[in-house]
Amino acid sequence: MSKNAYADVLKNALTEIKKICPDVSCSFIFRRDGMVVAGDSETAEETIEKTMRSFQSIAEKEDMIGGLKALIIDGEKGKIHISCVNNMYLALAASKNADATFLQAIMHVIVPTVLKLLESTAPTPLQFAPSKQLIVDTLSGLFVGDSVQIDLEVLKQWSELLNRKSVGEIEIETFSGKTTKCSAREINDPKLKGKGIIRIPERICKVLEVKKGEVVRVKPTEI
């Protein structure tokens, strides 16, 4: 089973759960490293980003609180429930009056069962390389070409996670939903290394409608 098929099945399951339980306004599954595996069809990127920031700020103190298996974040309009499921995390945003018993069933029975069935059909555990949020820096000049430049450490991390010799192509996604694929190589300016920057040719910036200083999501393409 491909990663896309794996994610699609999870997305469909989360979407159906939302239909069955109207009190659930959004749901998604993510990894500890910040990679979102799947979300229901209506979950907004802004909601995911806010939830991830809240989770990661607390997860940084995990050792101090004796581990993090479940978390409830209170909001003005409802609560976000986060639960550890099969080495991943399920996030559900629900109204304050949502049926607690049904939410527990979703988090501890329904979704874990779907994940278990998916894993039984995959010959080996699926490896996901986490996307990175990088700051745009523009490349200009006659000999720039179409390649983007990224920190070598990021490229090495992706190749190790995906068990590849190297990562030569990446996908860039803007927060407005525009995407493109580009070849990638190491940043050649020593002053810009290790600063969380992606150097993008001006032509590609125009296609993506992004400017210097903006943030984009970057991940390796699947083979």
pLDDT in tens, 6-22: 777 888 888 888 888 88
Cβ-Cβ contacts under 8 Å for 222 (sequence gap 6 or more): 2, 3, 4
CATH code for the structural domain at 132-220: 2.40.40.20
Tokens for 171, please give them: 């996908």
Give 149's strand partners.
Answer: 185, 199
Each domain of the chain, given as residue ranges in start order, spans 3-121, 132-220
Predicted confidence band at 65 (pLDDT cuts at 50, 70, 90)? very low
Residues 184-210: tens digit of each pLDDT: 999 988 888 888 899 999 999 999 999
Taking only the tens place, the pLDDT of each residue in 132-186 is 889 999 988 777 788 999 999 999 888 887 778 888 899 998 888 889 999 999 9
User: pLDDT above 70 covers what percent of the chain?
Assistant: 85
CATH code of domain 3-121:
3.30.450.30
Q: What is the pTM of this model?
A: 0.57
Comparing 3-121 with 132-220, is the CATH topology the same? Answer: no
| pLDDT, averaged across the chain | 81
pLDDT number for residue 81 = 85
Closest CA to 146 of 218, 206, 99, 65: 206
